[in-house]
Chain A
């Protein structure tokens, strides 16, 4: 595994990725979320799956997501997470923040072309 090319998940962004993933995929279990995040990143992200669970718990404590036990596509018992209304708002807000931040940073980092 070429670990050096892969980025560790930057702490604050994990929650945003989780929320976005659940929004895109609908109700999903932890394993599925982890896999989906890796896939979406084009396997650039090196995600320690274990770190996902405290993040999910925190989002649940915040009321952004709700959890429910269900059965997976392969007939395994799993805990499924879905977005709440508060979660949707939080996602919209944080996504916007993120876009602004990256836009600003982009302007800083690409001065040559900007002139």
Chain B
């Protein structure tokens, strides 16, 4: 431990202290005086006595130096000297220092902030026990790939597999919760009893579901989310054992989930009820409403699990051909299922930020090259005075460290600010869907990444001026105005760096252009309805009071009538699934009078009110709309969308044609009465499938979504619409009030496209500025180096125009190469991110052309200024100058 004490005191000794120096001198002086006294006493004369004393000491200065070296750490001492010298150097050229630090901070801030998002989403493990063992298990169908799992298949899969240590299933649900203010629609989740055990989540209060609790006949129990416990039950522990009525069904509260619990698929679910096989969907093998989550056994790979589930699915397909034809299995890592769709956009953004960082580094490097050029003499002088090559290199490294240190600190602070800002820009709904962003911040990964970037920058910035050092010849460097190998090095390396910069700028600009174009196309995609002045709201009826279809239909009609009667409302209609909710909620059909091979014909199925399409503003292409006469007492009718008509009745008139369920049971047969244009049912960037619309009255439900066409601002209308619904029956639940415009803007697709377009656009603008500044610097420097040459040319009769030409040609070559190389790389980069493009090709000529033009013009403007200076050169002065 003694050496630690010594080290600390020596480190402390680095701070220069006048007192310590004085004390040392006094001690040595006192030593000499005492020695001289003794010598005089021994008979020497005063001069000899002093000489002998100093001789015996071994030299006063030598002693002092040895003493000083012991009192501090010589290495650190010189480092401090270097730092002070470097700081002085940078202060002497504040323009250079500020530019370099700012560029570095910019690159650092962008890349670190984006990396933090990448880390939170893609690198941090899911917050469950041994998350790499968790897999997402679903069925697949040819039409949409991964689809839901049916309850009966789940039961067979769970029983027959030997690869999972546990296997649970879940599905989202909503329920009506009686509160003081009437019924409230709450979100919930139905999960099998092993769900939380599979994830490795343990309730903080109460207990988990016990095995067998999901069997029919067991008492129904529910576990609360932490926020629900806090908000609805004030965090009271007495809540365990209490009964809560969800949609009229009494359930016992048995536990509370931890505060940290998150489940991306339905993160805002408040009530996690045990999933017991329900009547209706879950007793039919053909009805798919679940998603599976499983933990593979130790040593079992995802691929092995996939193979096993496929085998089981194949066997079930053979056993139940009616329901399981074409139903395969899919097992993928849970992390992939949860955030796989975020990967392309995040990696694109990280790539963009990385390119920006690269431009910044290249720019700083070329600044350093220029600077080392102008410091040739300084270096030569220091070399001549005896500085070793190592010592000179260390000076450069110190300067680089100082630059990088300052840039990194500023960049890191800016990155933290940028993270906050980006989080702020996310809507609340988005944050619910991205719970992993809660942990966003300067964690270990982010700091390591920042450290790595800083280290890389420090290496590059130390090596760059050292390249110059290699070419320095002391005699040559000292010679006045000499032109050595250094100039050549600059023109070979420095000017080519700017080509790299320009190329990167092209890549970023093209990327931003393509993303912006995709976003524009996305917002202007054919919707099949008029999205403005359209309010949407979900309505749920208590199942007990509205048990049969006649009551449900009557209520639906009453709601539509009452809401339509509100001032400011033009029309209203209902649907079972709002547009833009996604493809799905499908039905298997079979056409009358056509051969059927048992292969499932799967179409979207929606139940709508007679006025639904009129309220949406969707055009009727053929036939008629539904009307109030299409009720249970009449034969079934159906409307289809254009995609349906084109796919199943190409070149035919579908009106009057009949189709039904796979068994062609007479009860299911329905006649097509109308064809409407394609309403965008799926997300903005997904084509709508063939869709059938049935009249609500012929296929009623206790739940529907209302669409309301208003003549005034739809946001302001919302409260009066809700009030009108509650006036009919306070027990009705309403939820998801939103305008269609907001649904479009806040949709995940729009959000992802918008944010990527804006962020990459921001990077591209910065890249454009940095690279053009870089080009300006290169040309300006080149002009300053060639002043004498230009003077000679002009003295020999060159016109100003040809001088312009000389400089602009040089700039043109560099810019041209940069743009051409950049366009090539840009197409490659765009191919990599084509999953983010919508309606735009990676080689979109318009975008490529505009980018080339913008960059070309900017480059010419940037080089015009130095060219003008070159043309203004006075030949006499230029020749006299050296």
Chain A interfacial positions (CB closer than 8 Å to B) = 29-32, 35, 48-51, 53-54, 57-58, 61-63, 72, 74, 76-79
B2 neighbours in A (Cβ, 8 Å): 62-63
Are A53's CB and B63's CB within 8 A? yes
24 sample A-B contacts, Cβ–Cβ < 8 Å, listed by A number: A31-B30, A31-B31, A31-B34, A31-B35, A32-B34, A48-B56, A50-B62, A50-B63, A53-B63, A53-B67, A57-B71, A61-B5, A61-B9, A62-B2, A62-B5, A63-B5, A72-B30, A74-B37, A76-B33, A76-B34, A77-B26, A78-B27, A78-B34, A79-B30
Distance, CA A79 to CA B26, complexed state (A): 9
B30 touches A54 (CB 8 A): no
Interface check B413, CB cutoff 8 A? no
A residues within 8 A CB of B31?
Answer: 29-31, 49, 78
- B22 interfacial contact with A, CB 8 Å: no
With an 8 A cutoff between CB atoms, is B142 at the interface? Answer: no
Across-interface contacts of A72 in B (CB, < 8 A): 30, 34
Answer yes or no: B745 CB below 8 A from chain A CBs.
no
Partner of B58, one of A35, A49, A57, A62: A49
Chain A neighbourhood of B69, CB < 8 A: 54
Which A residues lie within 8 Å of B59 (CB)? 50
B622 located at the interface, meaning its Cβ lies under 8 Å from any Cβ of chain A in the complex: no
- Tell whether, in the assembled complex, residue A58 and residue B70 are in contact, meaning their CB atoms are under 8 Å apart: yes
- Is B592 part of the binding interface, using a Cβ–Cβ cutoff of 8 Å? no
Task: List B contacts of A35 (CB < 8 A).
Answer: 38
Q: Which one of A49, A62, A72, A78 has the highest number of Cβ atoms from chain B below 10 Å of its Cβ?
A: A49
A58 to B9, CA, bound (A): 10
CB of B58 within 8 A of CB of A30, answer no
Q: Which residues of B contact A31 (CB under 8 A)?
A: 30-31, 34-35
Q: Which residues of B contact A62 (CB under 8 A)?
A: 2, 5-6
- The answer to whether A54 and B66 have CB atoms under 8 Å apart is yes
Kindly provide the distance from the CB of A88 to the nearest chain B CB, expressed in whole angstroms: 14
Residues of A within 8 A of B79 (CB): none
B30 touches A78 (CB 8 A): yes
Q: Pick from A49, A61, A79: contact of B10, CB below 8 A.
A: A61
Interface residue total, chain B, C-beta cutoff 8 A: 28
Neighbouring B residues of A53 by C-beta, 8 Å: 24, 27-28, 63, 66-67
CB neighbors of A among B26-52 (8 A) = 26-28, 30-31, 33-35, 37-38
A32 CA to B30 CA, complexed, in Å: 11
Closest Cβ of chain A to B64, distance in Å, is 9
The 4 closest A-B pairs by CB, nearest first: A50-B63, A50-B58, A54-B70, A48-B58
Say whether B6 contacts A29, CB under 8 Å: no
Which of chain A's residues have a CB closer than 8 A to the CB of B9?
61
Closest-by-CB residue of A relative to B8 is: A61
How distant is the Cα of A74 from the Cα of B31 in the complex, in angstroms? Answer: 12
Contact with A along B270-285 (1 / 0, CB 8 A): 0000000000000000
Question: Quick check: B27 and A30 within 8 Å, CB to CB?
Answer: yes
Other contacts beyond A31-B34, A50-B63, A57-B67: 20, CB < 8 A: A29-B30, A31-B30, A32-B34, A35-B38, A49-B31, A49-B56, A53-B24, A53-B66, A54-B66, A54-B69, A57-B70, A57-B71, A58-B70, A62-B5, A74-B37, A77-B30, A78-B27, A78-B30, A79-B23, A79-B30
- What distance in Å separates the Cβ of B27 from its nearest Cβ neighbour in chain A? 5
Interface residue? B57 (CB, 8 A): yes
| Cα–Cα, bound, A54→B63 (Å) | 8
Contacts of B28 in A (CB 8 A): 53
A61 neighbours in B (Cβ, 8 Å): 5-6, 9-10, 70
Point out which of A29, A32, A54 has the most chain B C-beta atoms below 10 A from its C-beta. Answer: A54
Given the interface contacts A58-B6, A61-B9, A79-B27, does A50 sit within 8 Å of B34 by beta carbon? no
Bound-state Cα–Cα, A53 to B10, Å:
15
Closest A-chain residue to B61, C-beta based?
A: A50
Give CA–CA (A72, B28) in the complex, Å: 14
CB neighbours (8 Å) of B26 from chain A are: 77, 79
Instruction: With a 10 A CB-CB cut-off, give which of B2, B27, B56 has the most chain A CB atoms.
Output: B27
How far apart sit A77 and B59, CA to CA, in the bound complex (Å)? 21
Q: How far is the CA of A32 from the CA of B37 in the complex (A)?
A: 13
B36: shortest Cβ distance to chain A, in Å? 10
Q: A50-B62, A62-B6 are in contact. Are A76 and B30 (CB under 8 A)?
A: yes
B67 x A54 contact (CB < 8 A): yes
- A76 contact set on B, CB distance < 8 A: 30, 33-34, 37
- Cα distance A8–B33 in the bound complex, in angstroms: 24
| Minimum C-beta distance from A5 to chain B (A) | 18
Q: How long is the Cα–Cα vector from A16 to B62 in the complex, in angstroms?
A: 23
**Cβ of B56: which chain A residues have Cβ within 8 Å of it?**
48-49
Nearest Cβ distance between residue A87 and chain B, in whole angstroms?
Answer: 11
Q: Which residues of A contact B10 (CB under 8 A)?
A: 61
Give the docked Cα–Cα distance between A72 and B24 (Å): 17
Specify the chain A residue showing the minimal Cβ separation from B62.
A50
CB distance from A18 to the nearest CB of B (A): 14
Across the interface, name the chain B residue whose C-beta is closest to A54. Answer: B70
Instruction: Tell me, in angstroms, the Cα distance from A53 to B30 when the chains sit together.
Output: 12
Give the distance in Å from the alpha carbon of A51 to the alpha carbon of B63 in the complex: 7
| A31, A35, A58, A62 interface centre (most CB from chain B within 10 Å) | A31
Q: How far is the CB of B847 from chain A (nearest CB, A)?
A: 68
Q: Could you tell me which residues of chain B, from 282 to 325, have a CB within 8 Å of some CB in chain A?
A: none
Residues of B within 8 A of A74 (CB): 34, 37
- B113 CB, nearest partner CB in chain A, Å: 46
B178 to chain A, nearest CB (A): 76
A58 to B66, CA, bound (A): 11
Nearest chain B CB to A55's CB is how many angstroms away? Answer: 8
Q: Across the two chains, which residue of chain B brings its CB closest to A78?
A: B30
